[in-house]
Amino acid sequence: MKAGEIIRVIVFYLIGAILVFVGQPLLYRNGIIAVNDVPEVETWVSDYYTPAAAIVFGICLLATIIWLVITAISKADLAEDIEKSRLWWWLIGLLPVISICAAIALYKEGSGEAQLSLAVLFVLDFLWLYWLTTASSTPGLFMFIPPLARQLRGMIGAI
């Protein structure tokens, strides 16, 4: 991997950590996203939101690392071999999707009212942490495998 790709991964994950563990909890704490079926929002955030968000964040990080390692060490050089890796990108991407479902299911006891907002926020986290990071930072011949990677890399000048 090139230094710029590694730096982008680190920057996207640092920004993602701030969004997931600081920004999104503030949406609940400040009442921007209402959670009226819990007695104390602060307790709900620490006992339910934070562990669920940590699961999603951790699995997104794991999926990103798996994808980047696979593509960095791959010896594929034929177009059909590279194209086959598109399926792997989607299969690895299922890990964060499953983690979103698991996190919401495991912590649904905390607030039924928050289920939809959690799902939306966690999907946005997935898009930021897995898709954006892999689309902008996948190395070498695999750089255009993630959906819209060519357009994204063109916009940020990472081609």
Q: What is the pLDDT of residues 23-76, one digit of tens each?
A: 999 999 999 999 888 889 999 999 999 999 999 999 999 999 999 999 999 888
Name which residue leads in pLDDT, 21 or 4: 21
Closest C-alpha among 110, 95, 11 to residue 51? 110
- What's the pLDDT score for residue 64? 98
State which residues form the domain around 15: 3-156
- What's the pLDDT score for residue 158? 64
Name which residue leads in pLDDT, 109 or 21: 21
Q: Count of domains in the chain?
A: 1
Other Cβ atoms less than 10 A from the Cβ of 4: the count is 12
Q: What is the CA radius of gyration of the chain?
A: 17
Other Cβ atoms less than 10 A from the Cβ of 79: the count is 9
Quickly count helices (H) and strands (E) in the chain: 8, 0
- What's the pLDDT score for residue 109? 78
Other Cβ atoms less than 10 A from the Cβ of 41: the count is 20
End-to-end CA distance of the chain: 13
Closest C-alpha among 126, 2, 1 to residue 73? 1
Q: How far is CA 67 from CA 18, 71, 137, in A?
A: 23, 6, 10
Q: What is the pLDDT of residues 111-146, one digit of tens each?
A: 788 899 999 999 999 999 999 999 999 998 999 999
Structure tokens at 45: 């955030």
